[in-house]
Amino acid sequence: MISFLRGNFLVRNPAQVVVDVNGVGYECQISLNTYSAINGKTTGLLFTYLQITENAQTLYGFAEQAEKDLFIHLISVSGVGAATARMMLSGMKPDETVRAIVQGNARQLESIKGIGRKTAERLVLELRDKLGKISLESTVLPSASNKMETDALNALVSLGIVRPQAEQAIKKALLANPDTTILEDLIKQALKNV
């Protein structure tokens, strides 16, 4: 299995990138999210997923490990293939996709080209609990600019609180006490808001 590629980005477009690794060119299928992250860069690292089927071997590239992990979760759902998962990651940012699934927002998922009502409902049904409990780096609070907020969010999620509820609790705690500098105090205050 090819876990990642580090090299020069020779060919770059919104659907694929060719990475030159010591003279060998690897063609990776990418999402618009990854394209935005690597656009303008000439070298870098892509996390990869190799899909082997009867007719092809396709390498998918991701700018972040969190996006790769989400891709793997998406293709584990019956009826969601790699092309559909890539379309989902192109249609919404990974944190938006996770949030829609965890909150059970099938309508938002249906807005992505190629995702119908049944597929959206199946995604919510099969992935809601899994994605609510894991800690994806890209799904931290948008305002979590420091380590304390991120640590507090991870602590609440590890206690079994679903991510969206934990995010709201932390926001309320910070609004009530914006000068909080101690992690334990932030967690305690957030727990009161759950």
Q: Is the dihedral of CA 101, 106, 108, 113 positive or negative?
A: positive
* CA separation for the pair 143, 15 (Å, rounded): 30
**Extended strands (E) in the chain:** 4-12, 16-21, 24-29, 43-52, 57-62
> What's at 183, amino acid-wise?
L
Identify which of 133, 113, 144 has the alpha carbon closest to the alpha carbon of residue 31: 113
CA distances from 57 to 12, 51, 102, 132 (A): 20, 6, 32, 31
Residue 186, both tokens: 């932030």
* Tens-place pLDDT, residues 17-42: 999 999 999 999 999 999 999 988 99
Cβ count near 167 (within 10 Å): 23
pLDDT of 120 higher than 70: yes
Q: What pLDDT, on the 0 to 100 scale, is given for residue 73?
A: 93
- Of 2-11, 19-28, 40-49, 129-138, which range is least confident? 129-138
What single-letter amino acid sits at 187?
I
Q: Which domains does the chain show, CATH number per domain?
A: 4-62 (2.40.50.140), 65-133 (1.10.150.20), 140-192 (1.10.8)
pLDDT at 146: 57
Q: What is the DSSP string of 134-168?
A: S--GGGS-TT--SHHHHHHHHHHHHTT--HHHHHH
C-alpha–C-alpha distance, residues 82 and 156, integer Å: 32
